[in-house]
Structure 1
Amino acid sequence: MDTKRALTNKIALVTGAGRGIGRAIAGRLAEDGAVVGVHYGHSEAAAVEVVAGIRRNGGRAFPVGAELGVAGDAAAVFEAFDAGVREEGVADDAGSLDILVNNAGVSGSGPVGEAVPEVFDRMIAVNAKAPFFLVQSALPRMRDGGRIVNVSSLASRRAFPESVGYAMSKGALDSMTLCLAKELGGRGITVNAVGPGFIETDMNARRRTTPQACAALAARSVFGRIGKPSDVADVVAFLVSDDARWITGQCIDVSGGTDL
């Protein structure tokens, strides 16, 4: 398959796409031909920069601003998304969405002894509740044969007591992936998750403050390095392509063989 044309005429929404893994996913999907809604919660400047970069490279994208983890978040996301789709002139009667990537997330809950309800609630609201209701709002817009990819974490399948609330929220996302895959199969919609390990993003920058810390993280992968956002984005691009039409209900490990 010519990946440069694999997603031509497809419309995608990537949450948390202003930085890190989301930014890489948005760029890759646009490179493959999709029109991409670049969602952001707070950093409009970052999202606008991503959109500008995609356009400079010949792709099509538009910003989608709405905070997640608050009342009415899904409705706000799709109000902005629908407006962007109309401005791009790509909507039609068959639907206005082909690909939803639930990437946005928050971390930092700490071990159980340090947990506080406010942080735990925020973790669940952004990492689990928001994706659930985003899917609910996406489905009436999504064409049959669509794709949903949830960005989970290696923490949902390995003991990660240093951030138990985060691990729990990603475990919920994995369960949602499995249930939705069965429910939506009749429409030809695939639902999968990817589980990154340690990736060079702002989210885990505090774990990479010294050369020794970086080396320790790199050593946990069989490849002896920390992952890059593009390592995850390339797998997501495969999962949303027609080449992955026979894959659903799966959580693909994209950790570089961490802790094997």
Structure 2
Amino acid sequence: MCSTTGHRWPLVSLRSKIKPADFDRILAVNTRGQLFAVQHAVPHMRQGGRIVLTSSVSASRAFFRHTLYAANKAAVESMVLNLSAWLDTAVALRRLAEPTEIAAGYAFLASDDAAFMTGRTLQLDGGMF
């Protein structure tokens, strides 16, 4: 199951008058929508299924007038961490990786599929750290 949302309007700063309706609309699309998509998908997933939620660099970097958008994307990242504890299948695997599992990560990083990824860490830790 993959979920990508990206409603960022209005772009606001603390000097702007952030209206509750603006906050609620962005929260509903960017955060609430992803949570309910997961909740709906889980009963239909097979063992070993995957959940992928999309966040944004705005969650961890400051961008002018991205206050609401960034807060929602940070919420999505926190939600992913907590959902892994909620879903027993995503909890730490409690074992060392097989060489082929590590090799798959290396193969991805060396492939054209990772062409837009730069300066990031790919954690292959089985959810243990």
Normalised by the length of structure 1, the TM-score is 0.34
* Rounded Cα–Cα distance in structure 1 between residues aligned with 2:54 and 2:78: 13
Q: Within 5 A, what are the aligned runs for 1:78-227?
A: 100-109=1-10, 110-114=12-16, 115-184=18-87, 186-188=88-90
Give CA deviations for 1:21-66 in whole Å, capped at 9, x if unaligned. Answer: xxxxxxxxxxxxxxxxxxxxxxxxxxxxxxxxxxxxxxxxxxxxxx
* Rounded Cα–Cα distance in structure 2 between residues aligned with 1:249 and 1:149: 18
Alpha-carbon deviation of 1:102?
1.3
Q: Which moved more, 1:150-159 or 1:110-119?
A: 110-119
* Rounded Cα–Cα distance in structure 2 between residues aligned with 1:105 and 1:179: 21
* Rounded Cα–Cα distance in structure 1 between residues aligned with 2:35 and 2:69: 16
* Rounded Cα–Cα distance in structure 2 between residues aligned with 1:163 and 1:146: 33
Give CA deviations for 1:128-153 in whole Å, capped at 9, x if unaligned. Answer: 00111111111100112111111111
User: What's 1:231 paired with?
Assistant: 116
Normalised by the length of structure 2, the TM-score is 0.65
* Rounded Cα–Cα distance in structure 1 between residues aligned with 2:49 and 2:116: 23
Call closer, same or farther: CA 1:147–1:189 in 2, change over 3 Å: farther
Unaligned 5+ segments in structure 1 are 1-99, 191-229, 233-238, 251-260
Contact 2:84 2:90 in 1 (8 A): no
Contact 1:128 1:173 in 2 (8 A): yes
Contact 1:102 1:149 in 2 (8 A): yes
Which amino acid is the alignment partner of residue 80 of structure 2? T
Secondary structure of 1:108's counterpart equals coil
Q: Choose between structure 1 and 2 for higher RCO, CA contacts under 8 A separated by at least 6 residues.
A: 2
* Rounded Cα–Cα distance in structure 1 between residues aligned with 2:57 and 2:89: 29
Which amino acid is the alignment partner of residue 71 of structure 2? M
Aligned length: 101
* Rounded Cα–Cα distance in structure 1 between residues aligned with 2:90 and 2:33: 23
Identify, as 1 or 2, the structure richer in strand: 1
Percent identity (aligned): 35
Contact 2:85 2:91 in 1 (8 A): no
Unaligned 5+ segments in structure 2 are 93-114
Which amino acid is the alignment partner of residue 169 of structure 1? N
